[in-house]
Structure formats: C-alpha cells, structure tokens
Amino acid sequence: MENQPDIIISEADLAKIEDQLERSKLPKEFVLALEDELARANILKSEAMPGDVVMLASQVTFKVVATERTFTKTLCLPVDMERYQDAISLFAPLGSAILGLSTGQKITWNIQDRPQVVEIVNVRKSTPLNLSM
C-alpha cells in the first residue's frame, strides 16, 4: 500500500515475529505482506522504544475511521493468545496493520477484503492474565 506511515519495531519483537513466521503455515501472500511491513520498519533496541508505539504485549485502543468504532485489544503472537483477555493476534490482518504505529498515526489496510483506515488512539503496556497451573 502506498504512503504508509513510518513504523518502529523493537529488535526483540522482530526476532520473536521472525521466529513465529518461520514456524507458521500462514498463506504465502500474508507472510509476504507482513515481511514487507517488517522490512520498512525502523528497528530500535527495546530500551529505546517510545512508550506510545504498538509492540507485542501492548494494549492498543484504535478506531476504525469509517465507522468511528473504537476497540481496545492486546497485540500478541498466536502462541500468547490465552495470556490476554482482549488478545488480537499479530497474524490477524488488523494485528499486523497496527504493529509499530504510534498514538495518532493512521494506516490504510485491507480488513475483510476492504481498505479501512485505522487510527491509533492510545497505547499502553498490557498485563497478562493470571493463569494458574
């Protein structure tokens, strides 16, 4: 997609994502689209990441601009979906769209085969559920 916003990804998140991509059986076109996103990202050390950037384990409030509907979800890898009550997988189209965005940024991404504009409203570190063993 043209004119997409700048994105920032931590080295740690990039390593986790690349590892999961290698293990996944996702459709080739999805993997290529996500790899394109990763390739255009500015990569920073975890300690240098701004607090308002969407990372793995970030609880993100975002708005679908066309409908004005607002959602709050925690971005995570598929293996971590059970850790968060409000989980959204990075491997879901919307999950991959919001990775690396900052508060106030918008991105156009295909959601259910339609281009949608999504705006990041707020980002904060999420707390995993207490899972008893």
Can you tell me the mean pLDDT for 24-38?
Answer: 85
Q: What is residue 118's predicted lDDT score, i.e. its pLDDT? A: 92
DSSP string over 63-101: EETTTTEEEEEEEE-GGGGGG-TTEEETTSHHHHHHTT-
Q: Closest Cα partner for 115 from 106, 123, 124?
A: 106
Q: What is the CATH code of the structural domain delimited by 8-125?
A: 3.10.50.30
Using one digit for the tens of pLDDT, what is the confidence trace for 60-88?
Answer: 999 989 999 999 999 999 999 999 999 99
What residue ranges do the domains of the chain occupy?
Answer: 8-125
Distance CA 12, CA 45 (A): 7
For strand 87-89 and strand 69-76, is the pairing parallel, antiparallel, or unpaired?
parallel
Whether residue 8 contacts residue 50, with contact meaning beta carbons closer than 8 Å, is answered with: yes
